[in-house]
Amino acid sequence: MEKLFSLFSTSAGSAGGSSSAPAATVSDIFVYPIKSCRGISVPEAPITSTGFRWDRQWMVVNSNGRAFTQRVEPKLALVEPELPPGAFDFNWKSSDSSYMVLRAPDMDPLKVCLNRECNVVDGISVWEWSGTAFDEGDEASEWFTKYLGKPSRLVRFNTPSESRFVDPDYAQGYTAMFSDGYPYLVISQGSLDFLNELLKEPLPINRFRPNILVDGCAPFSEDLWKVTKLNNIAFHGVKLCARCKVPTINQESGTGGTEPTETLMKFRTDKALKRGKINKAKVYFGMNFVCAESLSAATLKEKVVKIGDPIHVLQSYASPADAAA
């Protein structure tokens, strides 16, 4: 418990304002092409109007068009996508020979053409959103149906016709594709290290599925980052990330457990963070961000986040209790 008290005084003291020295640096970047499937670690990623290029552009749906996630299909954690070399270069364009290759235990690889014409299907839904999407065809459907053991289809976000807005109570005008709610999730290495010191068995960062991992700051500093400049790109921290059961799923085996939720319940709840509105079921780990430049095609041009990019904090929340959640 003494360690937790020390943590809160340290993180509150690091709220800070803008400074010539960076608050942290980007240490890893992750993109998840298919919702709830394995992520790809990349040295750099271009920013689009909906998040990093390729992030949650696809998802697997059931016979009713509803999204499958690891919450009910933990085997999705073992599906590993591979994109073509150069796919994260800013000026890269797909061709008829460009494929996303999917691999999973006891399955032959599946090649999904990135340049094919797809049928548009109605009634696709994820959380509160419903609309149309591109159907990746029967071969992909048969692959996922066999793998999951139930009728499944692979769909791609219908970018030309659809928009999926984030919750306007937290960030107005911003859009995402098939992510749970926001374009970017930021977590610090310090937060993970602090948590791992409390756990009997340390966990890798893939349990928490961030887009941006940062290093060089105190544990849970990211809770306080209201307005930042990441390599001169404006990112706004808009909502603490309330965690579901996915962090309890081993991303290497697809099996579930009770940690880290059991430990996070001791110090990352509304009550522990002294938040006014108490939801006893919620624990928080990481901060959801939006990118200000994504609102305008003109300012978005050739914006890329790279490993090693500095992060400067321009505005801070006074404490986690002041951040939205």
- Which tens digit of pLDDT belongs to each residue from 187-212? 999 999 999 999 999 999 999 999 99
Q: How confident is the model at residue 302 (pLDDT cuts 50, 70, 90)?
A: confident
pTM of the model: 0.94
- Residue 199: closest CA among 208, 211, 210, 212: 208
- Residue 304: closest CA among 28, 51, 46: 46
> pLDDT tens digits for 55-103?
999 999 999 999 999 999 999 999 999 999 999 998 999 999 999 999 9
Between the two ends of the chain, the Cα-to-Cα distance in Å is: 24
The yes-or-no verdict on residue 7 having pLDDT over 60 is no
Would you state the pLDDT for residue 20?
77
The yes-or-no verdict on residue 4 having pLDDT over 70 is no
Q: How far apart, in Å, are the Cα atoms of 17 and each of 128, 134, 150, 304, 313?
A: 36, 45, 52, 24, 6
Q: What ranges in 212-311 are assigned the alpha helix state H?
A: 261-264, 297-300
**Alpha-carbon dihedral of residues 196, 275, 50, 20, nearest 10 degrees?**
-70
Structure tokens at 176: 């995402």
Q: How confident is the model at residue 3 (pLDDT cuts 50, 70, 90)?
A: low
CB neighbour burial string for 45-61, b if at least 16 within 10 angstroms, e if fewer: bbbbbbbbbbbbbbbbb
Q: How confident is the model at residue 113 (pLDDT cuts 50, 70, 90)?
A: very high
Mean of the per-residue pLDDT values for the chain? 93
User: Average pLDDT of 299-315?
Assistant: 94
Distance CA 296, CA 59 (A): 26
Can you tell me whether residue 201 is helix, strand or coil? Answer: coil
Say if residue 277 is exposed, middle or buried (CB neighbours under 10 Å; 0-12, 13-18, 19+).
exposed
Peptide bond into 260 cis (omega under 30): yes
Would you state the pLDDT for residue 280?
79
Q: How confident is the model at residue 17 (pLDDT cuts 50, 70, 90)?
A: very low
Can you tell me whether residue 228 is helix, strand or coil? Answer: strand
- Residue 277 has phi, psi (to 5 degrees) of -95, 115
Structure tokens at 136: 């990746």
The yes-or-no verdict on residue 226 having pLDDT over 80 is yes
Distance CA 281, CA 269 (A): 8
What's the length of the chain? 325
- DSSP string covering 31-68, please? E-SBTTS--EEESEEEEETTEETTTT-EEEE-TTSBBP
The yes-or-no verdict on residue 33 having pLDDT over 90 is yes
User: Average pLDDT of 288-294?
Assistant: 96
Residues 6+ apart with CB under 8 A from 250: 77, 207, 256, 257
User: Average pLDDT of 235-248?
Assistant: 97
Structure tokens at 82: 């591979």
The yes-or-no verdict on residue 18 having pLDDT over 70 is no
Say how far residue 267 (Cα) sits from the centre of its chain: 23
Q: Which residue has the higher pLDDT, 280 or 18?
A: 280
> pLDDT tens digits for 132-151?
999 999 999 999 999 999 99
Q: How confident is the model at residue 288 (pLDDT cuts 50, 70, 90)?
A: very high
Where exactly are the structural domains of the chain? 2-322
Q: Which residue has the higher pLDDT, 56 or 301?
A: 56
